[in-house]
Amino acid sequence: MATHFWSREQEVLAWSALADARNIIRDINQYNEQLATNDSLVAIASGYTKKWHIIDREYRKFRAKYDGKDKINKLSRYTAASYRGFQNDLNDRFLNKLEAQGTCAIDGIDPQVTFWQKHILPLKKT
């Protein structure tokens, strides 16, 4: 139904919501697949900065668009539970890896001060 003409035209709220929820859940499943093969600290940090932050944005858009819509209450609860699971897993994995490492440095990722000096300050000077 989510690929039907009327859902693409966003004429039917439930179909539009289903299409948006499908995208969020698809991305969460891809996240789970990627971390099943590599859940190093570098993989988590680079995965979030390259792709997984989009899940956060899409979920915020979903909530803004569909909160309070009674016709999709069950879908909203399912999507929220999926998102919370993703969020909790990501945070737990990252913090546990960071704690086990014993330092806040991540190989291959500049510290914030270095990043700021290298990438942000030059933009402000121009």
pLDDT in tens, 38-88: 888 889 988 998 999 999 999 999 999 998 887 888 999 999 999 999 999
Q: In which band, very low, low, confident or very high, does the pLDDT at 110 lie, cut at 50, 70 and 90?
A: low
- Which pLDDT score is estimated for 3? 57
Instruction: Report DSSP state, residue 106.
Output: B
> pTM for this one?
0.72
Domain range annotation of the chain: 5-125
Spatial contact of 15 and 1, defined as CB atoms under 8 Å apart: yes
Neighbouring C-beta atoms of residue 60, cutoff 10 Å: 11
